Structure formats: structure tokens, C-alpha cells
Amino acid sequence: MSETLNAIILGIIQGLTEFLPVSSSGHLAILHEVLGFETESNIFFDVILHLGTLIAVVFFYRNKIADIIRGGLFGIKSLFKGKGIKESFFTSADSKLFSLIIIGSVPTAVIGLTFKDFFEGLADNLLYVGLALLTTAVLLILFELKKNSEKKIDNMNAVDSVIIGIVQGIAIIPGISRSGSTIASGKLLGIEKETAANFSFLLSLPAITGAFLLQFKDAIEEGFVYQNYILIGFAAALLSGYFSLKLLIWMIKKSNMYYFAVYCGIIAIFAMMR
């Protein structure tokens, strides 16, 4: 199979599974293991795929991101004027959302930097990947079973953000869906499902950016040769990532997460039988 076709397939898979609750790392581990998908300059190629999905989520939430930045700047300005932290960062919805994203990103970063190599090493054993995919399936079922989750951003607190941030950090494990686990955790904490989804994707921005920067550093150290298929993979990841975001938000509104749970269960059984 040509590297161009490999790049298109891997870009589409990365974009779709980065945001759909089915685990991008689990799917890429299975593809690499079962189909032998490889490209030259693998680390740099992975960096470019992550950049594609990062741009997709930034574009999708561009208006909300602008509001959050303004809220954060307002909080910083108020802090320098001598106002307290609570008065500066927890008075408006945008400044509070800015604060919750910062708070939630801390445990994600600690877990990611501490256990990154160990968790990513599990990708070499498809039994572990399969078990993690089953865990994702269970979380998605719990998401649908949980009723009467009504908390909005105004009602969320730092504890909610920390717990979701911890879950996001654990989702480095190949097979644990970052979006699926964090959205499910949010709803289990009593957060309204669409609010949980939006918070999950906004919280993903620092995590995806951090992963991109770490991989970029590794790519520079490894050295790489640019190939045309890299740009093709980037475009495939960006477009499929944007599409998957719109699809997931729509499916959450329709309460159709059971479909993803069944899919994760089937892929998990396939992986564990290898």
C-alpha cells in the first residue's frame, strides 16, 4: 500500500477517533499492529496529524475560545487591580470557564508527564488495548443510564474540573477514549450532557497542544524528511476531525451513545483475539 494512501487512512482515522468516543490511540495501535501501517518519519507524521485535529477543534469552538480568552484577561486584569481570586475569575461565565479549564489541565499534565511512557507502552499489547476499549464501552453505557444531569458551567466547581482532568490524564492509555471518558465522567458528576461535551472538548485544547509540543520536540530530535503524504494526512485529519466533532455533538443531543459503546465492545473483542 502506498504511503499516500496510508497517510489518508491514518489521517481520517485520527480525525474521526480523536473526538468520537472510540479512542484514537487504540485504533492506531490496532492499525499499526494488524495492518502494518508504517510511514517514514513516524514521529513527525504523528505530530502533523495532531496539529490537524488541534486546528479542527480550535476552528469549531473559535467563538467560545475568544470569549474564554477575554474572560481570562478580565480576571487577570481584576487580579492586578487588587481584587480577590474568586471575584476576578469566578464572577462571569467566561472567566469561570477559563479558570475551570486551567484547574482541570493541572492533573492532566501531572499524570501525562509522569506516566506517558508507561501508558503508551501498553499499545504494544492488544490485550491491554482491548480491555481499555471495554472500559470505554462501559463508561458510554453509564453515560446513557445516568439521568437528571442538569449542572451548567455556572454550577460547576473546582472539584468537578479536577476529577474530569484526572480522567483525561488516564485517557492516555490506548483504548480509553479521551472524549468518551471525560464526557461520561462529567455527566456522572451531574453535569448536563451538552455542557459536559463542550467542556470536554475545550479542556482537550491544552492537552492536545501539550501532546503536540512534546511530539514536535521528539520529531526535531529524531530528524525528519518532508514528504508530500504528510500534508495529505494533515488535511485528512483536519477535515475528518471537524466532521467528527459535529457528529458527536449531534449524537449526544439524540442520546445515541449506545452505538459507540457497541462499536467499542466489538473492536475490543477483535483486539483481544489477536
Using one digit for the tens of pLDDT, what is the confidence trace for 59-80? 999 999 999 999 989 888 888 8
The residues of the chain scoring below 70 in pLDDT are 1, 32-43, 223-226
Residue 46 pLDDT: 76
Domain tally, the chain: 1
Alpha carbon distance 165, 168 (integer Å): 5
In the chain, beta strands by DSSP E: none
pLDDT at 5: 84
What confidence score (pLDDT) does residue 266 get?
94
Of 168, 158, 156, 198, the closest CA to residue 64 belongs to 198
Of the candidates 79, 14, 74, the residue with the CA atom closest to the CA atom of residue 47: 14
Q: What is the pLDDT of residue 14?
A: 85
Comparing C-alpha atoms, which of 241, 208, 206 is closest to residue 59?
241
Burial 246-268 (b: 16+ CB within 10 A, else e): eebbebbeeeebeebbebbbebb
Alpha-helix runs per DSSP H in 61-125: 62-80, 85-89, 93-121
Question: How many residues would you count in the chain?
Answer: 274
Residue 192's pLDDT is 94
Q: Which domain holds residue 218?
A: 3-272
Q: What is the pLDDT at residue 219?
A: 72
Cα-flanking dihedrals φ and ψ of residue 151, to 5°?
Answer: -65, 135
